[in-house]
Amino acid sequence: MSDKIRKYVLPNLPYLFVFWFFSKIGTAYRIAPGTDFGTKLMGMLDTFPKAFETYWPGLGGIDLLVGLAGAAGMYLLIQSKIRQAKKFRRDAEYGTARFGTKEDIKPFVDPKFQNNVILTGTEFLTMNTRPKIPANARNLNVCVIGSSGSGKTRFWLTPQLLQAHSSYVVVDPKGGTLDQCGRFLQREKYRVRVFNSIDFSKSMHYNPLAYIKTESDVLKFVTALIANTKGDGKEGDEFWTKAETLLYCALVSYIVFEGPEEERNMNTLVEMINSMEVREDDETFKNAVDYMFDGLEHRSPQHFAVRQYKKYKLASGKTAKSILISCGARLAPFDIPQLREIMSYDELELDKLGDEKSALFFLISDTDTTYNFLVALAFSQMFNLLCERADNTYGGRLPYHVRVLWDEAANTGQVPGLEKIVAVIRSREISLTLFYQAMSQCKALYKDHSETIMGNMDSIVFLGGREASTLKDISENWLGKATISMQTEGRSRGQSESYSQNMQRLGRELMTTSEITTMPGDKCILQLRGLPPFLSPKYDLKKHPNYKYTAEFDKKKNAFRLESLFRHRPLRLKPEDEYTVYEVDGSDTDEEADLLNFDDLDSDEFV
Mean pLDDT of 9-36: 76
* 283 and 214 co-located in one domain: yes
Specify the pLDDT at position 277: 86
Give the total residue count for the chain.
Answer: 607
In this prediction, residue 602 has a pLDDT band, given cuts at 50, 70 and 90, of very low
List the one residue out of 470, 455, 255 whose CA is nearest residue 343.
255
CB 381 within 8 Å of CB 220: yes
> Same domain for 393 and 515?
yes
Residue 245 has pLDDT above 70, yes or no: yes
Neighbours of 494 (CB within 10 A): 6
Taking the C-alpha atoms of residue 227 and residue 213, their distance in angstroms, rounded to an integer, is 21
Nearest 5°: CA angle at 411, between 408 and 415? 95
pLDDT reported for residue 603: 44
pLDDT of residue 232: 56
359 has a pLDDT exceeding 90: yes
Q: Which domain holds residue 511?
A: 102-195+355-566
CB 246 within 8 A of CB 312: yes
Does the residue 96 lie in any domain? no
Fill in the amino acid letter for 297: E
Q: Which of 521, 518, 485, 523 is nearest to 501 (CA)?
A: 485
Q: Are residues 230 and 115 in the same domain?
A: no
Given a cut of 80, whether residue 590 has pLDDT beyond it is no
Same domain for 426 and 554?
yes
Indicate whether 477 pLDDT > 50: yes
Query: Is the confidence at residue 494, as pLDDT, over 70?
Result: no
Domain co-membership, 270 together with 249: yes
Task: Tell me the average pLDDT across 338-365.
Answer: 94
The answer, yes or no, to whether residue 595 has pLDDT greater than 50, is: no
What's the mean pLDDT in 254-267? Answer: 93
Closest CA to 555 of 183, 189, 160: 183
- Is residue 259 within 8 A of residue 268, CB to CB? The reply is yes
Whether residue 103 is predicted with pLDDT greater than 50 in this model: the reply is yes
CA distances from 225 to 217, 219, 491 (A): 12, 10, 73
CB 373 within 8 A of CB 206: no
Residue 564 banded pLDDT, cuts 50, 70, 90: confident
Is residue 337 over pLDDT 80?
A: yes
| Confidence band, pLDDT 50/70/90 cuts, at residue 599 | very low
Residue 601, domain member (yes or no): no
Percent of the chain with pLDDT over 70: 88
Produce one character per residue of 70-101: b if its CB has 16 or more CB atoms within 10 Å, e if not: bbeebeeeeeeeeeeeeeeeeeeebbebebbe
Of 170-184, 399-413, 487-501, least confident by mean pLDDT is 487-501
Q: What is the mean pLDDT of residues 342-351?
A: 94
- Write the DSSP string, 197-219: SS-GGG-----GGGG--SHHHHH
CB contact set of 458 (below 8 Å; sequence gap of 6+):
138, 139, 140, 141, 142, 528, 529
CA 63/CA 76 separation, integer angstroms: 20
Angle subtended at Cα 131 by Cα 128 and Cα 137, rounded to the nearest 5 degrees:
85
Number of Cβ within a 10 Å radius of residue 535 = 17
Q: Does one domain contain both 72 and 108?
A: no
**Residue 200, domain member (yes or no):** no
Q: Are residues 294 and 370 located together in one domain of the fold?
A: no
Domain of 503, CATH number, reads 3.40.50.300
Residue 396 resides in a domain: yes
Q: Check residue 563 and report its DSSP letter.
A: G
Hey, is 485 helix, strand or coil?
A: strand
List 489's β-bridge partners, or say none. 501
Residue 535 has pLDDT above 90, yes or no: yes
> Looking at this protein, which amino acid is placed at residue 229?
T
As a whole number of Å, the end-to-end CA separation of the chain is 96
270 pLDDT tier (thresholds 50, 70, 90) = very high
**Is 243 or 570 the better-scoring residue by pLDDT?**
243
Mean pLDDT of all residues in the chain? 86
143 shares a domain with 277: no
Domain boundary among 50, 84, 118: 84
417 with 540, same domain?
A: yes
Would you say 140 and 426 are in contact if contact means Cβ atoms under 8 Å apart?
yes
Which comes out higher in pLDDT, residue 508 or 265?
265
Confidence of residue 573 (pLDDT cuts 50, 70, 90): low
Residue 93 lies in a domain: no
The mean per-residue pLDDT over the stretch 61-83 comes to: 81
Element at 537 (helix H, strand E): strand 534-537
Asked which of 141-155, 473-487, 568-582 is least confident by mean pLDDT, the reply is 568-582
Is the pLDDT at 433 greater than 70? The verdict is: yes
Tell me which residue of 475, 460, 516, 547 sits closest to 125, measured CA to CA: 460
Q: Which amino acid is at 92?
A: A
The CA distance from 481 to 510, in Å, is: 6
Whether residues 183 and 67 share a domain: the answer is no
Lowest mean pLDDT among 48-52, 330-334, 341-345: 48-52
Per-state percent for the chain, helix, strand, coil, to nearest 5: 50, 15, 35
Q: What is the pLDDT of residues 360-403, one digit of tens each?
A: 999 999 888 889 999 999 999 999 999 999 999 999 999 999 99
* Residue 575 located in a structural domain: no
Cα maximum dimension of the chain: 139
Of 537, 569, 504, 572, the closest CA to residue 202 belongs to 569
d(CA 465, CA 149): 9
Using CA atoms, how far apart are residues 370 and 227, in angstroms rounded to an integer?
Answer: 15
> Helix, strand or coil for residue 532?
coil
Residue where one domain finishes, among candidates 309, 339, 369: 339
The reply to whether 148 and 243 lie within a common domain is no
Q: Does the global pTM surpass 0.75?
A: yes
Confirm whether 600 is domain-assigned.
no
The secondary element (H helix, E strand) that includes residue 161 is helix 158-163
Give the model confidence (pLDDT) of 508-530 as tens digits. 888 999 999 999 999 999 999 99
If asked whether residues 169 and 305 sit together in one domain, one would say: no
- Range 470-476 contact pairs with CB under 8 angstroms and sequence separation of 24 or more: 470/145, 470/438, 470/439, 470/440, 471/513, 471/516, 471/517, 472/513, 473/439, 474/511, 474/513, 474/516, 474/525, 475/509, 475/510, 475/511, 475/512, 475/513, 475/516, 476/509
Rg (CA), the chain: 37
Total Cβ atoms within 10 A of residue 192? 21
The Cα–Cα gap between 72 and 19 comes to 8
Helix residue spans in 282-336 (DSSP H): 288-299, 304-312, 317-330
Q: How many domains does the chain have?
A: 3
From the centroid of its chain, how far is CA 73?
60
**What is the enclosing helix (H) or strand (E) of 486?**
strand 481-492
Q: Which of 530, 547, 566 marks a domain boundary?
A: 566
27 lies in some domain: yes
Query: Strand, helix or coil at 301?
Result: coil
Confidence band, pLDDT 50/70/90 cuts, at residue 121: very high
